[in-house]
Amino acid sequence: MSTPNLAPIPELFVSYESAQKLKIEAADLTSWDLSPRQICDLELLMNGGFNPLKGFLTEADYTSVVENMRLADGSLWPMPITLDVSEAFADSIEIGQDIALRDQEGVILGTMTVTDRWTPDKAKEAEMVFGADDDAHPAVNYLHNTAGKVYLGGPITGIQQPVHYDFRARRDTPNELRAYFRKLGWRKVVAFQTRNPLHRAHQELTFRAAKEAQANLLIHPVVGMTKPGDVDHFTRVRCYEAVLDKYPSSTTTMSLLPLAMRMAGPREAVWHGLIRKNFGVTHFIVGRDHAGPGSNSQGEDFYGPYDAQELFKQHEEEMGITMVPFKHMVYVQERAQYEPNDEIADKDDVTILNISGTELRRRLAEGLEIPDWFSFPEVVRELRKTRPPRSKQGFTVFFTGFSGSGKSTIANALMVKLMEMGGRPVTLLDGDIVRKNLSSELGFSKEHRDLNIRRIGYVASEITKNGGIAICAPIAPYSATRRAVREDIEQYGAFLEVHVATSLEECERRDRKGLYKLAREGKIKEFTGISDPYDVPENPELRVETENVDVDNCAHQVILKLESLGLIAAH
C-alpha cells in the first residue's frame, strides 16, 4: 500500500555547500528586511509547507488567487502570499534582479528573483479574500495600515531556516513530520489546528475525532502570528505541554506551526487543510467559525458558523484530505462527561454546563474560580501566571482631545490620585514631556506626529507589560494611530481611551499657550482643529466634558471607570 502522504515533498532549500557559497555572494545583493509576517510566510515557502508555491506570488497568480482561489495554472490555493514592500524599495530595484531576504537581525534566509512588481487593489483583495473591506477585520486592517503599498513576486532560493530559540524540539518541517509518521507506521493522521489554550472540551473533541477517523492525532498549534489580543504563544505552548500528558503517547504527537494566520474564515480553513496535507496529515478537524476574527463594524460575525466547513467540503476531494467536522462539546453534569451538544437525547432532564472564551477571560481577569470540569489545573496555573487578576495588571489610560482641552491637567490629577492609592508605579507620558525627551528631533507633519504617538504607545506598552500604570495625554488626532497603540498595549493589559470632549470654541477661548492665535494667523501649519483634522473617537471607554466641570471631578470619573473595570480594587 503506497502512502503518498508520507513520501518526501519538494523544498526550496539549496544544498549546504551551495548555501555557504550563496551567503558570501549575497553580501553584494540589495537586501529586504522581512516583517514578522513575511518571515512566517518565507519559512513555510522554503520548507514545503506552502507547496506547490515556489516563491512569493507573481501578479498573474495573485490575481487568480484573489478572484477564484486558484493559481494561474489552476491549482487550488486560497490565500495571497505576497512580498509587500515600500514604494521607495520597489523603485530601487529592477525586474530580473535578485534580492537578499533577511530577518530582523540582518541574517540572510534566502534570495528571490524579482519577476513581478505591481501595486495591488487592496480594497478588492479585502473584499474577495476576507469577504469585506472592513478595518474591524485584523487582516484587512493589516493590509491597509501595515503592509507595504507595492507587491513583489518571484521564485525563492532557500538558504537557511529562520532561527527559533524557543521550543526547538517541538518544531518540525513537513518532511520531518512525514519521516516521523513513516517511522511510527502512522498511515492515518488527524490534525487539530488551534490558536487558543486547550481545555477539557478540546481534549474530548480530539479524542473523538481520532477515534471516528481511526487515526493517530497531531496537535498542530499555530505559533506564528494569530489575532491581536490572543494569549501569547509561549504561554500557550506551556499549556499544550501540560495537556499532552493526558493523551496516549503512542498515538498522539504535537508539533508547532510557524504560520501567520489571516483569520480569513472559509478560505483560511481550505488553506489550513492544504498546509496540513503538506505536513503528511490525512484528516483535518474544522471547527465552528474556523479561524473567524469575531465581529465586523456592524457587530455581526464576519462569517457564518458553518461557512468554513461548507467550503472545505466542496474542495475536499481535490485537496486529498478528509474533513472531520468539529462538534460543539458541552459538559453534562449528571454524567460528569463531555458530549456533543447535538447528540444529547435527554437535554431537558440534564444540567448542561459550558464556559465561553469570553467568560473564561472574565474569570481570569477577576481572579475567579475556573472549575476542574472546564479545564485542567495545570493549564489554569499557566494562564494565571500570564494573566494575573485585573487589579494586579498594568494598564494604560490614554487621553485624547484638542490642544487646550484639559488633557494634561486631568492626567496630572489622575496620576496623583493613583499614587495616593499606591500598589503600582505610575508614569505620566505627557505630550510636551515626551516631545522633549523622546521625540525632540520630530516636527509636526502627519508622519512625525504619528511616529510620536507610536513612541508614546511603545513606552506605555512596556510600562503596562511590567505591571505599571501609564497615563498618556497627547492630542493623538488620527483614529488609525490610536487603534495601533491600543493593539500594542492590549497584548499586555487594559487600555482605557478617554476622550476629553472639550469643544474647539472653548479650547480656543482658553488658548493658554497662544497656539490657536498663531494657527489662525497661519504661523503654525497643520494645527489640529484649524488646518488639520481630528478624528473624534467613536467608542472610547470614557468621554469627559470639561466645560463647567472641575478637574477633580473629571479625574474622579476616570477612577470610577477604572474601578468598574476591576483595574483598581474598590476599597
Told to judge if 37 belongs to the known catalytic residues of this protein, a careful annotator would answer no
pLDDT for residue 3: 64
Q: What mean pLDDT comes out for the span 135-154? A: 96
pLDDT digits (tens, 9 = 90+) for 324-335: 988 788 999 999
pLDDT for residue 512: 77
Assigned C-alpha cell, 401: 482631545
Q: Which residue has the cell 476599597?
A: 571
Nearest C-alpha neighbor of 227 from the set 141, 330, 153: 141
Nearest C-alpha neighbor of 68 from the set 76, 57, 56: 76
Per-residue burial over 126-141, b if 16 or more Cβ lie within 10 Å, else e, is: bebbbbebbbebbbbb
Cross-strand bridge partners of residue 517: none
Say how far apart CA 97 and CA 32 lie, in whole Å. 13
For residues 57 and 65, the answer to whether their CB atoms sit within 8 Å is yes
Provide the annotated binding site for ATP.
401-408
Say how far apart CA 152 and CA 98 lie, in whole Å. 12
Q: How confident is the model at residue 362 (pLDDT cuts 50, 70, 90)?
A: confident
Helix (H, G, I), strand (E, B) or coil at 204: helix
Say how far apart CA 284 and CA 282 lie, in whole Å. 7
pLDDT for residue 515: 84
Q: What mean pLDDT comes out for the span 267-286? A: 97
Active-site option among 37, 178, 195, 238: 195
Say how far apart CA 370 and CA 361 lie, in whole Å. 10
Say how far apart CA 459 and CA 463 lie, in whole Å. 6
For residues 206 and 305, the answer to whether their CB atoms sit within 8 Å is no
Told to judge if 194 belongs to the known catalytic residues of this protein, a careful annotator would answer yes
pLDDT for residue 51 is more than 90: yes
Active-site option among 51, 111, 194, 216: 194
Say how far apart CA 270 and CA 273 lie, in whole Å. 5
For residues 424 and 394, the answer to whether their CB atoms sit within 8 Å is yes
Nearest C-alpha neighbor of 412 from the set 560, 555, 546, 548: 555
pLDDT digits (tens, 9 = 90+) for 374-432: 999 999 999 888 888 888 889 999 999 988 898 999 999 999 999 999 889 999 998 77
pLDDT for residue 523: 82
- In terms of DSSP bridges, do strands 494-500 and 395-400 run parallel, antiparallel, or are they unpaired? parallel
Nearest C-alpha neighbor of 60 from the set 154, 143, 132, 133: 154
Per-residue burial over 466-489, b if 16 or more Cβ lie within 10 Å, else e, is: ebbbbbbbbbbbbeebbebbbbbb
pLDDT digits (tens, 9 = 90+) for 422-447: 889 999 998 778 888 888 888 888 88
- In terms of DSSP bridges, do strands 329-332 and 352-353 run parallel, antiparallel, or are they unpaired? antiparallel
Q: How confident is the model at residue 288 (pLDDT cuts 50, 70, 90)?
A: confident
pLDDT for residue 455: 93
Domains of the chain: 16-158 (3.10.400.10), 168-330 (3.40.50.620), 390-565 (3.40.50.300)
Active-site option among 115, 196, 386, 427: 196
For residues 248 and 212, the answer to whether their CB atoms sit within 8 Å is no
pLDDT digits (tens, 9 = 90+) for 220-249: 999 988 887 778 888 899 999 988 988 988
Where would I find the H helices in 171-306? 174-184, 200-212, 233-244, 265-278
What count of residues does the chain have? 571
Told to judge if 5 belongs to the known catalytic residues of this protein, a careful annotator would answer no
For residues 454 and 486, the answer to whether their CB atoms sit within 8 Å is no
Say how far apart CA 115 and CA 308 lie, in whole Å. 34
pLDDT for residue 1 is more than 50: no
Helix (H, G, I), strand (E, B) or coil at 1: coil
Say how far apart CA 282 and CA 267 lie, in whole Å. 19
Say how far apart CA 160 and CA 169 lie, in whole Å. 17
For residues 389 and 365, the answer to whether their CB atoms sit within 8 Å is yes
Residues 6+ apart with CB under 8 A from 40: 224, 225, 258, 259, 260
Q: What mean pLDDT comes out for the span 293-320? A: 94
pLDDT for residue 139: 95
pLDDT for residue 409: 92
| Three-class SS of 354-411 | CCCHHHHHHHHHCCCCCCCCCCCHHHHHHHHHHCCCHHHCCEEEEEECCCCCCHHHHH
Say how far apart CA 521 and CA 516 lie, in whole Å. 9
